[in-house]
Amino acid sequence: MKADKKIISILMNAENGKSITKDEAINLLKLPENSLESSILTSTANIVSRQKFSNHALLLGQIGVDMAPCDGDCAFCFFANSNALIKPSALDKQEIIDRCIQFVLGGAQGVFLMTMHRFGLDWFRDLCADLRNLIPNQFEILANVGDLSLSQLKELKDAGVTGAYHVSRLREGTDSCISPDSRKKTIEYILEAGLSWFNMCEPVGPEHTPEELAEQIWIGIDYPCVQHGVMQRFPVKGSPLYKYGQVSLSRLNQIIAVVALATQNKPNIKSIAVNAPSVAGLFSGANAFFPETGEPIHGDPENHPVKDKEGFTTALWRDNDEITTCDCRKMMVSAGFSHLMDFNGYSKLKLQSKSYSKEEII
Ligand code: SF4
């Protein structure tokens, strides 16, 4: 078996510390996903990423706090106005607090509070302010909400929010009713407000071309994010993009590897996330997961069926049970990661599969 010399040269340069260019990224994304070169790509990213992050990993929880038919109307989404059959509802504050505490106990360093594209700003701001007073100080409150103005983001910051996830997604404006410019404007405001910006290449489907993927990945290179990563799209029955299905794990890993090699010299990037969490992703340059629920209550790992719960997480799109902090730590331990870190890259806890005691955590 012989590998393509041009590809090997790009990967050797990357392994020696040179970030790949956008053109090189496109060439790497054109590789057949199960080729020899693609395997060398993911292995190279694994080496580069482990060095960059000192073999440390990150857990950030997620809670969908408000749900309604959404006028973002994304062609892949469970909540899209034209497809959704749900009634508007918001999660009870005590339930959110309880879930945050479970995330804390599982070693997560923060939580993304997710809403629809349009949401009640005052309600969300007051919720964040209350949470800030009621959950441990070191646990970061992060927003994953719709487009906002600079002054609205400053309000959230004053309420205790320290970062925000916001993405100008693949085919934004074509597969959604939101313009890429308004998404990018909000990203600029997030940075101007002094919040940490979390980004990803998403929602990746089989139809996205290497050029489209590279273009979208580079938004997180041109603007300073603290986290880059890749999230695959899960097909929602009845949605316009259902027909395309989903990318394979090997394709997902190939894209993660490209992100890792393109961002290796960006000191602002403290972690590379993959969603859904997978051990294979951890061997392709990723070091961060978004658990969908915290430490299982009363030691019952089966006690987290998604269908009976209020609110939402990405488990809804996967149509599966929620992935716990315990599940994530087990994957990270099995992949040989040594510690959990905070989102600034500082070491926080030795990684272990078994649950932490309260004294170890708080
Ligand atoms: S992906 Fe977000 S913006 Fe789009 S329809 Fe779903 S909730 Fe709304």
Write the DSSP assignment of 78-146 as a string of letters: TTBTTT--PPPEE--HHHHHHHHHHHHHTT--EEEEE--SS--HHHHHHHHHHHHHHS-TTSEEEEE-S
Instruction: Tell me how far the alpha carbon of residue 211 lies from the centroid of ligand 1, in angstroms.
Output: 24
> Which of 67, 116, 168, 171 gets mutated to test ligand 1 (max ligand atoms within 8 A of its CB)?
116
What is the pairing mode between strands 66-67 and 89-90?
Answer: antiparallel
The CATH number covering residue 211 comes to 3.20.20.70
For 169, the domain range is 5-361
pLDDT in tens, the chain (362 residues): 788 999 999 999 999 999 999 999 999 999 999 999 999 999 999 999 999 999 999 999 999 999 999 999 999 998 999 877 788 899 999 999 999 999 999 999 999 999 999 999 999 999 999 999 999 999 999 999 999 999 999 999 999 999 999 999 999 999 999 999 999 999 999 999 999 999 999 999 999 999 999 999 999 999 999 999 999 999 999 899 999 999 999 999 999 999 999 999 999 999 999 999 999 999 999 999 999 999 986 544 444 444 456 778 888 887 778 899 999 999 999 999 999 999 888 999 999 999 998 888 87
Cα separation, 305 vs 57, whole angstroms? 26
CA-closest residue to ligand 1 atom 7: 116
Domain count of the fold of the chain: 1
Cα separation, 268 vs 281, whole angstroms? 21
pLDDT at res. 307: 45
Measuring CA to CA, how many Å separate 37 from each of 9, 46, 214? 11, 14, 18
Instruction: Tell me how far the alpha carbon of residue 239 lies from the centroid of ligand 1, in angstroms.
Output: 12
CB distance 178 to 72 below 8 Å: yes
| Closest ligand 1 atom, residue 77 Cα | 6
What is the pairing mode between strands 61-64 and 110-114?
Answer: parallel
> Which of 113, 117, 172 gets mutated to test ligand 1 (max ligand atoms within 8 A of its CB)?
117
Instruction: Tell me how far the alpha carbon of residue 39 lies from the centroid of ligand 1, in angstroms.
Output: 34
> Which of 62, 65, 71, 74 gets mutated to test ligand 1 (max ligand atoms within 8 A of its CB)?
74
> Which of 78, 79, 169 gets mutated to test ligand 1 (max ligand atoms within 8 A of its CB)?
79
Cα separation, 102 vs 104, whole angstroms? 5
| Closest ligand 1 atom, residue 73 Cα | 5
pLDDT at res. 183: 97
Cα separation, 75 vs 178, whole angstroms? 11
Q: In the structure, which protein residues have their CB atom closer than 6 angstroms to any atom of ligand 1? A: 70, 72-74, 77, 79-80, 116-117, 176
